[in-house]
Chains A and B, each alone.
Chain A
Amino acid sequence: MFSAARRTALRGAGSLPRPSSVFSHSLGPSALRRLLSSLAVLEQRDGKLNHGSLSAITAAKKLGGTVHGFVAGGNVKPVAEEAAKVEGVEKIIAVDNAAYDKGLPENYAPLLVENIKKGGYTHILVGHTAFGKSLFPRVAALLDSQQISDITAIESENTFVRPIYAGNAIATVESSDPIKVITLRGTAFPAAEVAGGSAAVEDGVDPNVESPTEWVSEDLAKSDRPDLATAGKVVSGGRGLKSKEDFDKIMLPLADTLGAAVGASRAAVDSGYADNSLQVGQTGKVVAPQLYLAVGISGAIQHLAGMKDSKVIAAINKDPEAPIFQVADVGLVGDLFEKVPELTEKLKSA
């Protein structure tokens, strides 16, 4: 457990990060805490901070030690200024360069590596999102560090908890790497609030590496409903909805009445009832809302992997033997085409 301290101490002395016993016995716990320093990588889009990505700061604060934030993109100052208001963050490193707007890992990874080296960080963290998943393993490879993916808890500065096998087992792992490269599950670390802090904003180093890939276009599903990954309530539809028309007719009024985000099972997505980005499960999004209402979803293990940490699970299904009822806090056996509109009406009038 002294490796992080060693590395930082040695780097401070300008030498290579090789294990040595010189420092390990002379440092007490308070010294260790001081030397532990984390960099939380934040996401931005079109000059707007992605608040969900602030969960990296929450996790960094749990580690103890100093916490810095990192953000890059064109005209990134307002984003950095906003992130600087998060309490407990000492510094926001900002790199103003439109080349990083789309988060291309080919130039973003070397950018991060340079800033990690300059800052002497022992831990780097990001959400286990599409951005984090494509970027961080590349960073880890460049640092020769074995990444720890999708953590749900921090036991100590080098010991982390993460689900494996679609959440059917929970592994506790101890890292021996000098720099811990970590992606984290957003639902396990609530986003830090943008209040109470006044961090300094500092320019980071920009190695200006050219990317062999270029961004061409994107097509984002437009929605006025809450974001699926962070919504307090989620209503999710499955194969039982039978068609896209029925999915929209049955699920959307229910979602709007509850102020909920809409999710879907893989079966519903594959059948074209709902957009891919709405998929909940091992291969889609992992959610943990206050209320998860599963409609016409049988409850395959891959789906449960994405929602079984929800506070309250409710299910409506016509099959009384559906596995979803084994995890649902409250289940209603019945025809969803009849029960869901009735539920929507009763919630409206309530």
Chain B
Amino acid sequence: MSALRILVPVKRVIDYAVKPRVNKAQTGVETAGVKHSMNPFDELSIEEAVRIRERKSAPGGVEDICVVSAGPPKAQDVLRTAMAMGADRAVHVDVKDGEEGDLEPLAVAKLLRAAVAREGSNLVILGKQSIDDDAAQTGPMLAGLLGWGQATQASAVRFVDGGDAVEVTQEIDGGVATVRAKLPMVITTDLRLNEPRFATLPNIMKAKKKPLVKLSLSDLGVANERRLKVVKVTEPEPRQGGGKVEDVDGLVGKLKELGAL
């Protein structure tokens, strides 16, 4: 089999531990001064790509691991993190913050289709969803646009048949399922796939020297065309805690009173 050229798309999102607040104008979530990080599922994607190389699990070897992110200049922070974890190089697609709004998954998928062509990728590993929009669309959309095989919510990736085929175990409702595909293909990662490494200080320093190419949407022939208009964003109905009871009898009594038993 030919060597792997892996493309790993990553997204800069509000850190998973931060509780997001809706802005006053109800147009979105407050992002100024809020800690951002790499989308947790994307860390798993990079980790998996680096492990395939380190563990030599793909018989053809890994020729290239390229990370790509579309967003404001600060998206370069997550690209540097990805390179500190082991990616070889990065592509930053500059998308103005605020003015145009976030790219929708369909636009990202089209952008990635162009990136795949540009980088000659034969395996794309994405997170199963981003924790801001929670859409869970980009991976399958990209596979559809490329006409490639897809395996979503991967919890294990194995190269079989001397590297001619990839077997992916997927988390499905009620258990797991395994599918087999020939490259090229698109895989999306689930939490159980691996445990991402921390970027060490020496690697963070080295990552600063790795190549990072800046592109615009037009370089990739993609427009930020929005199909969904955000009418408003609101806080969810607040839920009031009902207080505590002293003992098990109190618990049973209260549950009966609430009609839950």
- Which of A's residues lie within 8 Å of B, judged by CB? 102, 104-106, 109, 128-131, 133-142, 144-150, 159, 163-177, 211-221, 229, 233, 258, 266, 270, 275-277, 282-283, 285, 290-291, 301-302, 308, 311-314, 316, 320, 325-334, 339, 342-343, 346-347, 350
Contacts and interface: CB of A to CB of B under 8 A. Distances in A.
B140 A138 contact: yes
Contact of A169 (B231, B235, B247): B235
A212 B136 contact: no
Given A141-B109, A166-B131, A212-B149, A218 B233 contact: no
A130 B144 contact: no
Contacts of A311: 260
16 contacts: A131-B173, A146-B228, A149-B136, A166-B131, A172-B230, A173-B231, A213-B151, A214-B179, A270-B191, A277-B172, A302-B16, A312-B255, A327-B239, A329-B254, A331-B245, A334-B247
Interface in B205-246: 227-236, 239, 241-246
Closest A-B pairs by Cβ, 5 of them: A146-B227, A141-B144, A220-B175, A138-B144, A329-B242
A283 B155 CA distance: 13
Contacts, number: 258
A172 B260 contact: no
Contact of A330 (B151, B228, B254): B254
B17 to A, nearest CB: 8
Nearest to A227: B174
Given A175-B228, A217-B178, A283-B190, 7 more contacts: A133-B153, A141-B142, A163-B134, A171-B230, A174-B231, A213-B151, A330-B258
B242 A330 contact: yes
A312 B255 CA distance: 8
Interface residues of B, number: 81
Contacts of A327: 239, 241
B227 A145 contact: yes
A104 B179 contact: yes
Given A168-B19, A212-B148, A331 B241 contact: yes
A314 B141 contact: no
- Secondary structure call for the A interface: mixed
A221 B174 contact: yes
Given A173-B228, A218-B176, A333-B244, A141 B141 contact: yes
Contact of A314 (B129, B144, B251): B251
A332 B250 contact: yes
Given A139-B144, A327-B241, A332-B244, A277 B175 contact: yes
Contacts of A219: 175-177
B115 to A, nearest CB: 15
Nearest to A292: B260
B42 to A, nearest CB: 13
A343 B252 contact: yes
Nearest to A139: B144
A149 B19 contact: no
Interface in B22-75: 22, 29
